[in-house]
Structure 1
């Protein structure tokens, strides 16, 4: 009977799972559920969400299809290299529970870092090279023998994640407030961000671009921007990043400078890993995926190192590829 594998990409925003043949070829079936970072999602909730992904895949296991023989889950918030890592332990237990609930017999399974599955999702499932991830957070890692051996940044929204979606949104909020105060250059970001958060009075939402007397702008706009920065979780603040991208595309110099600086940070993060000329560099995350808004800027900054980014949508294909290596 043909063997099947399950690959799972457990992200901070959503979980995606895929069933595939161990011998290669395309995905047979996929499923998805909500956020899965074990450091922010309660264990029982994580198990339930994983089970919601596993069950429809297990239902496809049949005499005419094959049997599930291996499972790999790449988990944001897990550090498999550390035997005492709480995130890895929680994810492993939750996945075991999910497989049992989904009707999957006990099979070999691995919890891998999200950088490892992201890198393995690159062209020809590479085993050596560098990966850069920029979404809500940001980090880069060196992969050796399909294992993460060095990590740069990924320190979270408060201490790091420079160049990430959260970082971009926070810089935009700061720039908007500086503009309103008269301490920074004029920018359309104040009005755009206020509108995006639903704050401010209709007549005040345009304040901050070319409005004279910016320091006298209505306090409601300022309060709305400050509230947006303090009231939301990091992932909610990061959702303002597309506003900055659109403003830059429309010619806002301040927004463009923020995106340039974000790309500088990401390039610096990768540079610390000293990529060799021609070495595989896989990128993913909303900002560095195939249509990611920072990809052109980042690619230009990688040219001096003679490396060309290979963007992938996510790590799901990499999780499948790593599951196949277990058989």
Structure 2
């Protein structure tokens, strides 16, 4: 397990080896899923929908997101949530920036604060209020993983269960693992609701959890970025399929070109870089087999632009563009 302030780690790598690690050749092309791994059946309700809830951005560049990216290619990392509407109960995937983000962010390490510049648009709870959303429909917040930019808004929904994998709940309380507002959240009484992966293999992943039993919302374990990271497969009517991959990659190029995070970044930010690498290859294989699959890295605005949008919301989040 790695502690946070280790930027010097990259400097300890010999220059020739570091150059190889920073090359932009990408991971090898995996084979498509074999015929023995079928695309699972889903029976989504007609009224299901997937809605983007952008709460702000983290100002970065492509070079931060993936190996070989340009330092001149500005990328505003999406920070927000996705609302899954389902008749058995709506789910907010992650929560984005909350009302107390400034106080929360001040508890992070100083070096991280200096490296990270963010803009807040509007917290998710305020966007839902502006959209006249019926909060009685909301049954929980489903975390792709327990990191600061995915959890900030949770206190704005104090009565909601927080659905999380068992491994990431444990990681949240592990002082050896960086990435959350542990100091700020020390006394926060989260309504944790752990889930296990009781189902068998799913699209090449070893296990799965079918949230409502109809195949429309399926979680698979994808450890690497954090010990308990998950990927959420969402299937809407007419078999429109999404894969919410969390921080498996930060931008789509990570999967379309099979490019990992740059070595110094993944050395610091990934709990298990090799595990993350294997899950990138799994997803690349799935994308070959399901070419219409809409892959949604948690911080890629282009991906969220392909979702529905909330009505009556005046926020810079409305500028989301797929281009």
Task: Give the TM-score range, shorter chain.
Answer: under 0.3
Instruction: State the structure with more CA Rg.
Output: 1
If asked which structure has higher relative contact order (CA below 8 Å, sep 6+), I would say 2
TM-score, normalised relative to structure 2: 0.26
TM-score, normalised relative to structure 1: 0.26
The structure with the greater share of residues assigned to helix is 1
